[in-house]
Amino acid sequence: MSAPLLSIEDLRVSFPTPKGRIEVVKGVTFDLGRERLGIVGESGSGKSMTGRAILRLIRPPGVVTASRMQFDGMDLMALSEADMRALRGARISMIMQDPKFSLNPVMTVGRQIGEALRAHERLPRAAIRARVIEMLNAVRINDPERVAKMYPHEVSGGMGQRVMIAMMLIPKPSLLIADEPTSALDVSVQAQVLDLIDDLVRETGMGLLLISHDLNLVARYCDRILVMNAGEVVESCAARDLHAASHPYTKGLLAAVPQMHETRDVLPVLDRSAWGGTGT
């Protein structure tokens, strides 16, 4: 196996508080090839911060350190801001959580998608338009010509998220981070959007880092899974071996997932003392 696409060692993210620095990511280490890796964890476990740290989007006063953060042979920690900007979108992209907030309200959908391409390639206007329409087709939007002229408030949540996907994939990145890409959507469109991401990832052969709190979803769409809790990776396994997880936190999470046809009256509560985690 060649060198992994992304290699992270001892990634730490901290923020200052009146009581001193608080680490929200405490030494995360993992490699990612051209595969689909899922990061699961509850809110505040540091999974989103990990995603943003890879893009170096943690803004001051947040501080990011890592003993290694390599992407395709480049040291992400050492790149200048300009080099990093050239990399964002073009090589590593990120699908944001809620299209209601993550699309610019005063810019047409078409312009926002086109801008992602224009930031990295000098193309004539007509070529950009053609690529935008092509991309909207690729994310299965009917009547792309019309949708391109619409504003974000005029499209539905599922459509907004497809627009987001189109925007993030138009410069053909090799790594896609999806940060809770469906948690803001109706259940009925969640599967559609995830299937779409899955298809596009398989077609283009890019790496996928799927961040979610939903164990089942991650198990279904990923090859490998990292379970995070309180800023640390507590479990790393192949998706199909999830049921055989060894860490008590993972076991607790799995036990708490509701089952079809179940007869339990009360869902089990995580016993955090089992692994010395933070109590609530």
Q: Which of 3, 101, 241, 267 binds other proteins (CB under 8 A)?
A: 101
Given the rule CB under 8 A, which of 111-119, 218-226, 231-239, 253-261 is the region that contacts other proteins?
Answer: 111-119
SS3 state of residue 37: strand
- Closer Cβ to other proteins, 210 or 225, answer by number: 210
Give the x/- contact pattern for other proteins in 158-187, rule: CB under 8 A. Answer: ------x--xx--x----------------
State how far the Cα of 15 lies from the Cα of 27, in Å rounded to an integer: 14
Give Rg (Cα) of the chain.
20
Q: Which of 11, 64, 76, 116 binds other proteins (CB under 8 A)?
A: 116
- Residue 180 DSSP symbol: S
Q: What tokens appear for 76 in the block?
A: 């992400």
Given the rule CB under 8 A, which of 35-43, 72-80, 98-106, 192-200 is the region that contacts other proteins?
Answer: 98-106
Residues 6+ apart with CB under 8 A from 106: 151
Q: What tokens appear for 244 in the block?
A: 């055989």
- Residue 239 DSSP symbol: G
Looking at residues 33 to 92 of the shown chain, list those that interact with other proteins (rule: CB under 8 A).
Answer: 55, 57, 85-90
- Closer Cβ to other proteins, 26 or 85, answer by number: 85
175-179/207-212 β-pairing? parallel
Q: What tokens appear for 126 in the block?
A: 């007509």
Q: What tokens appear for 258 in the block?
A: 């509701």
Size of the site for other proteins (CB under 8 A): 32
State how far the Cα of 274 lies from the Cα of 166, in Å rounded to an integer: 43
Compute the least distance from the CB of residue 52 to other proteins, in Å: 8
Given the rule CB under 8 A, which of 42-50, 139-147, 149-157, 219-227 is the region that contacts other proteins?
Answer: 149-157
107 binds other proteins (CB under 8 A): yes
State how far the Cα of 158 lies from the Cα of 56, in Å rounded to an integer: 28
Compute the least distance from the CB of residue 166 to other proteins, in Å: 12
**If you search the block for the tokens 């390599």, which residue do you land on?**
70
Compute the least distance from the CB of residue 120 to other proteins, in Å: 6
Compute the least distance from the CB of residue 108 to other proteins, in Å: 8
133 binds other proteins (CB under 8 A): no
SS3 state of residue 219: helix
Q: What tokens appear for 144 in the block?
A: 């792309």
State how far the Cα of 126 lies from the Cα of 183, in Å rounded to an integer: 35
151 binds other proteins (CB under 8 A): yes
Compute the least distance from the CB of residue 234 to other proteins, in Å: 28
Residues near other proteins (CB under 8 A) are: 55, 57, 85-90, 93-94, 96-98, 101-108, 115-116, 119-120, 151, 153-154, 164, 167-168, 171
